[in-house]
Structure 1
Amino acid sequence: MSGRQGDESREDRERLSPTELRSLFLFESLNDAQLELLAECGRVEQRAAGSVVFAEGEPATCFFVLLEGSVALSRRVRGDDVEVLRADHRGVYGGANQAYLGDRVEQRYINTMRALTGSCFFVLPADEFGTAVRTWFPMAVHLLEGLFHGLRLSNTVTGERERLVALGALSAGLTHELNNPAAAALRATSALGERIVGMRKEFAAIADGSLDGPRLKGLVELQEAAVQRATTARQLSALDASDAEDELSDWLDEHRIEGSWDLASTLVAGGVDTAWLDSVARAVGEEQLAPAVRWIIHSIDTELLRVEIDDSVSRISGLVDAAKQYSQLDRAPQQTVDIHTLLEATLTMLRAKIAPGVTVVRQYDPDLPPILAYGAELNQVWTNLIVNALYAMGGEGTLTLRTRRDGDRLLAEVGDTGPGIPPEVRPRIFEPFYTTKPVGEGTGLGLDISYRIVVNKHHGDIRVDSRPGETWFRVGLPLARDTPT
C-alpha cells in the first residue's frame, strides 16, 4: 500500500460498528456476519481539504466510502486534469472498484480523487473487499465480469467509430466551407494574371502614341482615381446595374471602343459613370481614348480582383479560426470563454448540414459576461443539440439560438420548429443508448454526453420543453464558480 493510503502512524484508525456500516446504502443488505467481517477489516480515515485521496495510475490498494465531506474525481487527458465528477452524498464510493476481478485485470486507480473539504472515509483493503464480493455474490461477480469486459469492448469499438464519424463530419464540413473561397481565390488569381498582361499591353500602346508628359501624368492620376472609386463603389441593384451598363455601353460605342458590353460591366462595378469617362476623353483626346480607357478598365478590374482575393483569403482564415475555436486547439481545457463565440464557431462548422429551407435566428444577449468553462466540450454540447434540431425539422423550419441571463446563471437555448418530442419519450431522452432515430443513424449517446458535460463537469443543468412546432433545449451554466481542483 502506498504511503498515501497506508501510513501506520495515523491516529485516526478507528473502526465503524456493524450497525454504522448498515446505515451506508452500499452495505444495508448484508447480514450480521458479513457486516462484522467488514467492520473488522475496514478502518476510518480523515483527509484534509485539498489532499489527494488516491491518484490515477497508482496500484489500487483500497476501496473508499465517503462518510462526510465532499470529493472530486478527475482524469488525466493529454497532460491536463479534467474533472469528471463532484459528490458530497454520504456513501458514495471509489478506488478499487474492480477488486472483484482479482489478477485478471491490472488493479490500478482509473482516476484521481481529491478531498474538496475536510473529509472522512471508511476504507477497505482491496484484497479483503475483492474476496468478500467474490465469496458472497458469486453469481453477481460472473454477471459483473461479463458486463465489464463486454462494455469495455463495446465502448472501445463504438467510441472509435463515434470519433471517426465526428472527425469525418468535421472534416467534410470544413472542406465544404473552404472549397468556395479557395475556388474563388484561384479563379481571381488566374484572371488577375490576364489583367496584368492586358495593362502592360495597353500602356505600351499609350506610350507609343502622341501623349506628352503632362497628359500622361493626368491619365495616371485618372487611373489612381478610378482605382479609388473601385474600392468604395456601392453595390447597385440588378435593375440599376443593368441601366448603368446600357448607358456606359452606348458611350463606348459612340467613341468606337470595341467590346463595349464586357467593358461596361467592369466600369459599373468600379463605380465609373459617363461623366467620368468624358474627363478621360478630354485628358487624352480621341486618338488615344481607346487604349487609355482599356488601360483604366484593366486597372479597375485588377483592383476588384485583388479585393476578391483578399475577401476569399479572409474567409479561409476565418474558417480556420472557427475550426480552432470549435476544437479549442492550443487552448487550456478550462478557460474564460465567450458563449457567443462558441455558438458561432459551432454554426460555422455545421453550415454544410443546415439545409436551404432552414432559417437560423440569433437572439443573443450582448451584456452576458464570459464564463469559466471547458470550451471544446461545450462545443460538443452545442453540436449535439443543433444536429438534433436540424434532424427533427427535416430540412425546413427555424433554428433559433438564444442566450440570456437568469439570476446567477447563463442560459443558452437551442430551439427548433420540428414536430416536438412525444411526452412518453421525454423522460428518457438523456438516458445513455436511448435514441428515437432509425437503427444505424444514432447511438443514443449525444444527449447523455451533453448531460454529463453540462451537469457533472460544469455544475449546470440541461432541460427540455417541447410541444408540436416548438422544442427548446435550455442549458444553464453558472456565471461565476471556483476552478475545480
Structure 2
Amino acid sequence: MSGQVMPCCPQEIGSLFLFEKLTPEQLGRLCSTGRVERFEPGPVYTEGEPATCFYVMIEGTVVLSHRVAGDDVEVGRTSQRGVYSGAMQAYLGDRVRQVYINSMRVTEPTRFFVLSAETFASIMQEWFPMAVHLLEGLFFGSKSMQRAVGQRERLLALGSLSAGLTHELNNPAAAAVRATATLRERVAKMRHKLSVISSGPYPREALANLIEVQERTAERVAKAPTLSPLEASDREDVVTDWLDDHGIPDGWRLAPTFVQAGLDVDWLDQVAAAVDEEILPGAVGWLNYTVETELLMDEIEDSTTRISHLVDAAKQYSQLDRAPYQVADVHELLDSTLLMLSGKIGERIKVVKEFDRTLPRIPAYPAELNQVWTNLIDNAVSAVNSAGGEGTLTVRTALKNDQLVVEFQDTGTGVPPEIRGRIFDPFFTTKPVGEGTGLGLDISWRIVVNKHHGSIEVESVPGDTRFRVLLPLTAADPDTIPEEAA
C-alpha cells in the first residue's frame, strides 16, 4: 500500500531517535534518497509479502500483528515517535528471506519516513565499519540470550521437563556469555594493534595490503575444514615451525588458532608476500585477533542457534501459539517431545528414531498427543532404569491399514502378563510411592481413543516392550474440523 508523498525535512528526520546522531550531510542524504509518506487508517504492509521498504514513524499510531493459525494476533500498538519496522534485515541480503515478518496498519493518519530496502541496505553497509558491526552483534546477541533466559519461568511450568531443559539451555547460554566476554577483549586488542601498526612508518600500500589479507583471512575462516586430532596436531607443528623461522614470537600459542581456522603454511606465505618484512610480526599478531574474533562469533552464533532451537522445541511441545485442533506432522511432535525429555532420558539410554517421514499430516490435537508421547516415553525410561539403567528406546512411525502407527519400544523389564489388562485403569501403577500417579496411561488412552478415535496396543516380554498408538489419517467427521486445520 502506498501513501501520500510529502516533503522531507532533515531537521524533523534528525529528531527521531534512530537518526539523532547523524551528521547534517547524512540527514540530507536520507531525505534525498528516502521519502515521507502519509497513510490514512488501514494497512501499510502485510506479513509474508516481499519486504521492500523500511518504515520509521514520524507521528501517528501503528499496530503490528502476527498471523497465528490463520488469525492476525496483535503483538504491539504504539504512538511513540521513531519506532521502526519493515525491511529491517535488508542489509543481510540473500542470506535471509526478505519478507515482512509481521503486518502493520495505522489507526489514524500517520506519517512515516520511508527508505527502500535496497537503499537501507547500502546505507547500513557504508556507514557502519567493522568495529560497530561487532558491537551491534554483541548487543543483539545478548538481547537474544536475555529473551531465551526469560523463557525459563514459563518452561518451569512444564514440570518434570524443566530440569532437563534448563540444563540444556544453560550450556549454550554459558558458552555464549564466555565467548562474548572474550570477544570484547579481542576486539579491544585488535583496535590497539591496528593503532600501533597505522602509527608506524609504513606506506599506505602496505596497510592496504594488510587490510586485503584480513578480508581474505575472514573468508577462509568461514570455510575451515574439520580436522581429526592427529591432523590438527601435525599441522600445528608445521605452522609453529614457520612462525619460528620468520621471527614471530609465541608461534606455539598462535598455531592452534590458525589451524582451527583452516589457515596453513601456504596462507602464511601469502601473508609474508603481501606485507613488508618489518611489519610481518605485527601483521600476524593482528590477523590472529581477526581469526579469534571470527571463531568467537561462530561460537556465539552456534550457542544462540542452539538456544533458539530449544525454545522452538518448547513452543512446539507446549503448542502455546497453535490452534488446539489442526492438521499436524507427528514427526515434529515426536522430535520436540524427545528433545524436551532428553535430560530425563539421560545418556545411558540410546534413542533410535525409525521414522517414515513420507507419512501424511493428520488432523489431531497436537498438545495432547505430546502428552501421550511424554507418558509413554516416561514409562519406557522407568522400565529401562529398573532393568539396570542402560538400554534402548526405539520410536517408529509407519502406515498400517489406513492408520498412522507410532510405536515406542524399550528394552526394560517388561509388563507382566498378570497386570497387562489393568495398566490403563485409573490410579493403577507399578512405580514406587511418590514416583507415579497411575493416571499416565489412563489419560493417554482417553486422548487416543476418545479424542482421536484411535487405539493403543501393547506387546511385552522382558527386554522387549512395545506400545503402539494407531491414529486415523482423516477426521471422523470432516465437517467438525476447524477451518484452520483444514
1:232 alignment partner in structure 2:
223
Which of 439, 448, 469 aligns to 2:442? It is 448
Instruction: Return the alpha-carbon distance in structure 2 between the equivalents of residues 406 and 332 of structure 1.
Output: 28
User: What is the alpha-carbon root mean square deviation over aligned residues?
Assistant: 1.6
Q: Cα distance, 1:407 vs. partner?
A: 2.1
Per-residue CA shift, 1:299-353, capped at 9, x if unaligned? 1111111111111111111111110110000211101110000001101111111
Q: Hey, what does 1:149 align to over in structure 2?
A: none
Q: Check the 8 A contact 1:410/1:479 in 2, yes or no.
A: yes
Q: How does 1:159-198 map to 2 (within 5 A)?
A: 167-198=158-189
C-alpha separation between the residues in 1 aligned to 2:253 and 2:335? 40
- In structure 2, what is the equivalent of residue 425 of structure 1? 419
Matched, 1:404 2:398: yes
Q: What is the aligned partner in structure 2 of residue 142 from structure 1?
A: none
Q: CA-to-partner distance for each residue in 1:176-218, whole Å, 9 max, x for gaps? A: 1110110011011001101101111211222123332222222
What is the CA–CA distance in structure 2 between the aligned matches of 1:165 and 1:452, rounded to whole Å? 26
C-alpha displacement of 1:460? 0.2
For 2:159 and 2:463, locate their aligned partners in 1 and report how far apart those are by CA, in whole Å: 31
User: SS state of the match for residue 417, structure 2?
Assistant: coil
Aligned with residue 379 of structure 2, among 373, 381, 388: 388
- Deviation for aligned residue 1:366: 1.5
1:314 is matched with which residue: 300, 305, 312? Answer: 305
2:473 is aligned, of 448, 470, 479, to 479
Q: 1:418 to 1:299 in 2, by over 3 A?
A: same
Q: Tell me which structure has the larger Cα radius of gyration.
A: 1
Secondary structure, in 3 states, of the residue corresponding to 1:345?
A: helix
Tell me how far 1:166 sits from its aligned partner: 6.9
Q: Deviations over 1:201-239 (max 9, x none)?
A: 211222123332222222211111111111111110111
Q: Deviations over 1:382-407 (max 9, x none)?
A: 00111111111113111111001112
Q: Which moved more, 1:374-383 or 1:305-314?
A: 305-314
Secondary structure (helix, strand or coil) at the match of 1:356 reads: coil
Residues 182 and 357 of structure 1: is their aligned pair in 2 closer, same or farther, counting only changes over 3 Å?
same
Structure 1 residues 325 and 309, CA, compared in 2 at 3 Å: closer, same or farther?
A: same
| Residue matched to 1:377 | 368
Q: CA offset at residue 280 of structure 1?
A: 0.9
Partner Cα distance (2:253, 2:408) in 1: 48
Displacement of 1:455: 0.4
CA distance in 2, matches of 1:281, 1:342: 55
DSSP-derived class of the 1:399 partner = strand
- 8 Å contact 2:456–2:469 — kept in the other structure? yes
Q: Residue 339 of structure 1 aligns with which residue?
A: 330
TM-score calculated relative to the size of structure 2: 0.64
Match of 1:301 in 2: 292
Deviations 1:222-276 (A, max 9, x none): 1111111111111101111111111111211222222222211110111000111
Helix, strand or coil at the partner of 1:424: helix
CA distance in 2, matches of 1:307, 1:267: 15
Q: Which residue pairs with 2:263 in the alignment? A: 272
Q: What are the residue-to-residue correspondences of 1:114-133 with 2, within 5 Å?
A: none
| More divergent stretch after superposition (246-255 vs 458-467) | 246-255
Of the candidates 407, 429, 440, which is equivalent to residue 435 of structure 1?
429
For the pair 1:211 / 2:202, whether they are aligned, the reply is yes
**TM-score of the aligned structures, taking structure 1 as reference length:** 0.65
SS across alignment from 2:231: helix
More deviation in 251-260 or 376-385? 251-260
- Report if aligned partners of 1:451, 1:461 keep a CA contact under 8 Å in 2: yes
Specify the alignment match of 1:323 in structure 2.
314
Please say if residues 355 and 396 of structure 1, whose CA atoms lie closer than 8 Å, have aligned partners that are also in contact: no
Choose which of 247, 250, 270 in structure 1 pairs with 2:238. 247
Aligned residues: 322
Query: SS where residue 178 of structure 1 aligns?
Result: helix
Identity of matched residues, %:
60
Partner in structure 2 of residue 260 of structure 1:
251
Counterpart contact for 1:336–1:373, Cα < 8 Å: yes
Gap regions ≥5 residues in structure 2: 1-154, 482-486
Moved more, 435-444 or 253-262: 253-262
Cα deviation, residue 165, structure 1? 9.4
**Cα distance in 2 for residues equivalent to 1:478 and 1:337:** 12
2:206–2:276 Cα contact (<8 Å) kept: no
